[in-house]
């Protein structure tokens, strides 16, 4: 069996090191991909990255509470998303405000 990196597909003889990721010896990651993972996970926090993570957390929070999505609401080509909110949520005409408030009160469904 030829050993290749499962991520970049480099063969064993083209990389400095190959690390086995499974007991069965059928999953390998090369040193270049390991270095890349390390760079990504240890990248200094930038404002942009922090904002992206905040957005991701917000999307996950919403996704977990989504009841349904209608991508052609009333046949008008508009998207309507419905979310489950707790009874104590403050409903504002500003959608972002409603979501921000619901998130700050730490809703657990």
Judged by CB under 5 A, the stretch of 16-24, 29-37, 44-52, 72-80 that binds Zn ion is 29-37
Q: What is the 3-state secondary structure (H, E, C) of 71-83?
A: EEECCCCEEEEEE
Q: Is 25 helix (H, G, I), strand (E, B) or coil?
A: coil
Sequence-ordered list of residues with C-beta below 8 angstroms from that of 24, at least 6 positions apart, any chain: none
Is residue 5 a contact residue for Zn ion (CB under 5 A)?
Answer: yes
Residue whose Cβ sits closest to Zn ion = 5
Closer Cβ to Zn ion, 8 or 27, answer by number? 8
Shortest separation between residue 31's beta carbon and Zn ion, angstroms: 8
Reported in sequence order, the residue ranges of the chain that DSSP labels E, i.e. its strands, are 18-20, 28-30, 66-73, 78-83
Is residue 102 a contact residue for Zn ion (CB under 5 A)?
Answer: no
Q: Is 64 helix (H, G, I), strand (E, B) or coil?
A: helix
Closer Cβ to Zn ion, 40 or 47, answer by number? 40
Is residue 33 a contact residue for Zn ion (CB under 5 A)?
Answer: yes
> Which chain residues interact with Zn ion by CB under 5 A?
5, 7-8, 10, 30, 33
């Amino acid at each position: 069996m030829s050993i290749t990196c499962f991520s970049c597909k480099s063969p064993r003889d083209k990389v400095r090191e190959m690390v086995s990721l499974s007991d069965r010896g059928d999953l390998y990651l090369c040193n270049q991909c390991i270095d890349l993972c390390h760079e990504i996970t240890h990248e200094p926090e930038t404002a942009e990255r922090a904002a992206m993570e905040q957005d991701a957390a917000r999307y996950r929070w919403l996704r977990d509470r989504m009841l349904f999505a209608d991508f052609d609401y009333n046949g008008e080509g508009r998207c309507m998303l419905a979310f489950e909110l707790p009874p104590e949520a403050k409903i504002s005409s500003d959608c972002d405000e409603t979501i921000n408030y619901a998130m700050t009160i730490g809703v657990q469904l």
